[in-house]
Structure 1
Amino acid sequence: MTQISAFRAARIFDGTDWHDDAALLVEGGRVKAIVPADQVSDAQQVAGVIAPGLIDLQVNGGGGVLFNNACDASAVATICDAHAGFGTTAVMVTLITDAPELTDRAVLAAKEAKGTPGFLGLHLEGPHLAVARKGTHDPALIRSMTDADLTRITKAAQEIAHMICTIAPESVSPDQVRELRKAGVTVSLGHTDCSYETAVSYADAGAGMVTHLFNAMSQMAHRAPGLVGAALDDSRLSAGLIADGYHVSDAAMRVALRGNEGPGQVFLVSDAMSTIGSDQTGFTLNGRQIYRADGRLTLADGTLAGADIALIDAVRYVHQTLGLPLGQALQMASKFPAQAIGLTDRGHLRPGAHADFFSLTSELTAAGTWIAGRQKGQTA
């Protein structure tokens, strides 16, 4: 018989409801139940609130490592470990636009990293984007998707549990999107100047996400709603949002959250770079220097280059600055990203879910993280 572990806290958030003075029961790395604390005699006391582990679908680096610069399984482990220290229990490690051979290395790294605690899958952000909305991506590396590219990705999707591809309609055809979806890839629209109508047609073809809402995309005008308008109007699209106080204004975020009715939801991403969990003052990407100062990461010309936050920082921002209820803020970083890529057993703590959770302090920081019921740093 598998041993049952119990974790007691003053409050537990199961992803939908709050439970006071309760205990989380874990068996075989999965949630068995949440019960009143007085029903359990031998439970580990957890300070603060127990909440579902955070799920970050866009993580470029962490712990001093940028995936583009150290594209191997060891880098994946370092990145996942760094983010676990901030309550993130599932990470889509992200490769920023680069050469084809680096995509091959990223795919190999993802395969070899299978089973790494906290590693969820691979997010390819480019290179099939639009130069007009390149952001910090190197325009010399942006290109249209070829048959070879499509084969590379669809073949990789057979061996990697979860894959996201951020693409622009300018560089990828609807038929290619259909093939990606057939292979199980989550297709996200981003770094594009496409029209609202084009975005909707790509949702028809199978696109289901939008990468970092508002940033590097066609904006919403009264007669040309653009990708922003499609993301908020088309219920099939979920959209990531970087809530760091720099990438998107507070007013725009509040409007987006009020205007989105679902079932596709606005969810939080960190877009974190290597600086998270490190004392780095800068790093290089595609041979260009990125500078870290005052909570921002920029190129020399001031272009934002990813974000200097962990996902818990975004949760804290939308709760404390935008005024969202704590439960909704947590859902935006757990339940909603899980739904965006079709996960039913993560992002909540109901029976059968992965026992991925963290201890949330009154200051809205992470005091401890558990993946499959095992605390970060705990040996087998």
Structure 2
Amino acid sequence: MYALTNCTIYTTQAILIDHAVVIEGQQISAIIPINALTNDIDRIDLQGQNLTPGFIDLQLNGCGGVMFNGAVTEQTLATMQAANLKSGTTSYLPTFITDTDQGIKKALHVTREYMQKKPNEVLGLHLEGPYINVQKKGIHRQEFIRQPDPEMIDLICANSDVVSQITMAPEKTPNQFIEQLANAGIVVSLGHSNGTYQQATEAIQHGASSATHLFNAMTSITGREPGVVGAIYDNNIYAGIIVDGFHVAYENVRLSKRIMGDKLILVTDATAPAGADISEFDFVGTTVYYKQGKCVGKDGTLGGSAVTLIESIEQCVKFVGISLEEAIRMATIYPAKAISVDNKLGSIEVGKIANLAIFNNDYQVTGTVVNGCYKATE
């Protein structure tokens, strides 16, 4: 048992000062006024920094110099977790983009093995594709994009304890499959879609409850056709948004926040350069170049991002005009609710798993707590 003291605590429900968070084993056991702490409890003095729930990233292709599609191994997931901790992300969905059926099966196996050994770090797999629209493929390999196959949909549903989210184009996916996946407890997310407002709305009515990287690789609002973006706005579903200054204009982040409220979630869509010093990397057979914070293929196509969640929070505050308290929620409790893990993660509450982030007023992460274990950032 130990206590985290001398900090500003953002619980997601309140901002507390002169309080301590007491951790016992893996859980938060108490949140009490500092003067109620007994002298026999070990203390970690956070020197006036911010204490928040650990950030949760629902879309992470890679970081720390590695890509999950590039090396589908438990070591890759461990490397990503270690890199995440340097920027306050304590839990994430490794994202496996469009690949063969065999590739998907391997990703399922590796993710399951890792999750069984390391609880509350990898929260499940995000399958981004392969059931998407070639016209909005982005960096995805065209030869692997295909129609949903009933046998594979059955397999994915049978692994719903491992698959947390799947990104699909509604115009390419029969509603029966969307319904089947949603009924299995998998978050069906609209993305890489050239669909109409009507097609997206029908998918939502059949169980789609989220959208992948809002504005990117999807039809947007025009005067006569609201597109997928309009359907997201109009149907009160969750959507991840990449706030790196490249993927979405800050003004559009602000407009979306005003419309969507607590359904707008910060995601990174990060790739190998996040938390690493590299200038290029392979993304499913395409060389992606990292220059001045931007990841692009030779043709200029965006190939993921190199942003972290702490940087996303900072940019929301500085350039979008969102309060720090709300930006923290966008990286913690809202993603936890979107994938139904808010019963144990996403906020600082008694009884929840002690996954926490510590950062100073310059948005430098100085430490994390994962499953109750405190670690200073190196």
TM-score, normalised to structure 2, is 0.95
The amino acid of 2:118's aligned partner reads: T
What are the residue-to-residue correspondences of 1:18-29 with 2, within 5 Å?
18-29=15-26
Aligned partner of 2:328 in structure 1 is 330
Deviates more, 1:39-48 or 1:237-246: 39-48
CA distance in 2, matches of 1:337, 1:219: 23
Aligned partner of 2:370 in structure 1 is 371
Instruction: Work out whether residues 72 and 108 of structure 1, in 8 Å CA contact, stay in contact via their aligned partners in 2.
Output: no
Aligned residue for 1:192, secondary structure, equals coil
Aligned partner of 1:359 in structure 2 is 358
Aligned partner of 1:90 in structure 2 is 91
What are the residue-to-residue correspondences of 1:3-152 with 2, within 5 Å?
4-40=1-37, 41=39, 42=41, 43-47=43-47, 48-114=49-115, 115-116=117-118, 118-152=121-155
The amino acid of 1:253's aligned partner reads: V
Shift of 1:244: 0.3
Determine if the alignment matches structure 1 residue 346 to structure 2 residue 345. Answer: yes
CA distance in 1, matches of 2:253, 2:9: 28
Instruction: Work out whether residues 316 and 322 of structure 2, in 8 Å CA contact, stay in contact via their aligned partners in 1.
Output: yes
The amino acid of 1:349's aligned partner reads: I
CA distance in 2, matches of 1:10, 1:349: 13
CA distance in 2, matches of 1:20, 1:286: 47
Identify which of 273, 283, 286 aligns with 1:285: 283
Aligned partner of 1:190 in structure 2 is 191
Aligned residue for 2:17, secondary structure, equals strand
Shift of 1:222: 2.6
Aligned residue for 2:159, secondary structure, equals helix
CA distance in 2, matches of 1:182, 1:29: 31
Instruction: Work out whether residues 254 and 321 of structure 2, in 8 Å CA contact, stay in contact via their aligned partners in 1.
Output: no
CA distance in 2, matches of 1:253, 1:261: 11
The amino acid of 2:317's aligned partner reads: H
Aligned residue for 1:120, secondary structure, equals coil
Aligned partner of 1:173 in structure 2 is 174
Instruction: Work out whether residues 16 and 327 of structure 1, in 8 Å CA contact, stay in contact via their aligned partners in 2.
Output: no
Per-residue Cα deviation, 1:194-246 (whole angstroms, up to 9, x for no partner): 111211111111110000000000101232111111111212x1000000000
The amino acid of 2:234's aligned partner reads: D
Deviates more, 1:369-378 or 1:164-173: 369-378
Shift of 1:261: 4.2
Aligned partner of 1:312 in structure 2 is 310
Instruction: Work out whether residues 9 and 49 of structure 1, in 8 Å CA contact, stay in contact via their aligned partners in 2.
Output: no
Where do 4+ consecutive residues of structure 1 move more than 4 Å? none
Aligned residue for 1:206, secondary structure, equals coil
Determine if the alignment matches structure 1 residue 246 to structure 2 residue 249. Answer: no
CA distance in 1, matches of 2:151, 2:76: 26
CA distance in 2, matches of 1:323, 1:182: 38
Per-residue Cα deviation, 1:339-374 (whole angstroms, up to 9, x for no partner): 111122211001121111111211012110111110
CA distance in 1, matches of 2:124, 2:247: 25
Aligned partner of 2:164 in structure 1 is 163
The amino acid of 2:259's aligned partner reads: G
The amino acid of 2:239's aligned partner reads: A
The amino acid of 2:155's aligned partner reads: R
Instruction: Work out whether residues 338 and 347 of structure 1, in 8 Å CA contact, stay in contact via their aligned partners in 2.
Output: yes
CA RMSD, 1 decimal: 1.4
Shift of 1:377: 7.0
CA distance in 1, matches of 2:91, 2:5: 23
Deviates more, 1:307-316 or 1:30-39: 30-39
CA distance in 2, matches of 1:256, 1:301: 29
CA distance in 2, matches of 1:375, 1:64: 24
CA distance in 2, matches of 1:257, 1:323: 10
CA distance in 2, matches of 1:132, 1:370: 42
Shift of 1:376: 3.4
Matched residue pairs, number?
370
Instruction: Work out whether residues 189 and 210 of structure 1, in 8 Å CA contact, stay in contact via their aligned partners in 2.
Output: yes
Per-residue Cα deviation, 1:296-324 (whole angstroms, up to 9, x for no partner): 00000111000011111111110111121
Aligned residue for 2:112, secondary structure, equals helix
Instruction: Work out whether residues 9 and 50 of structure 1, in 8 Å CA contact, stay in contact via their aligned partners in 2.
Output: no
Instruction: Work out whether residues 368 and 376 of structure 2, in 8 Å CA contact, stay in contact via their aligned partners in 1.
Output: no
- Identity, in percent, stands at 33
Instruction: Work out whether residues 367 and 376 of structure 2, in 8 Å CA contact, stay in contact via their aligned partners in 1.
Output: no
CA distance in 2, matches of 1:301, 1:55: 32
Structure 1 regions of 5+ residues with no counterpart?
none
CA distance in 2, matches of 1:157, 1:72: 20
Shift of 1:85: 1.4
The amino acid of 1:211's aligned partner reads: T
Structure 2 regions of 5+ residues with no counterpart?
none
Deviates more, 1:237-246 or 1:182-191: 182-191
CA distance in 2, matches of 1:248, 1:224: 20
Shift of 1:98: 1.4
CA distance in 2, matches of 1:58, 1:220: 24
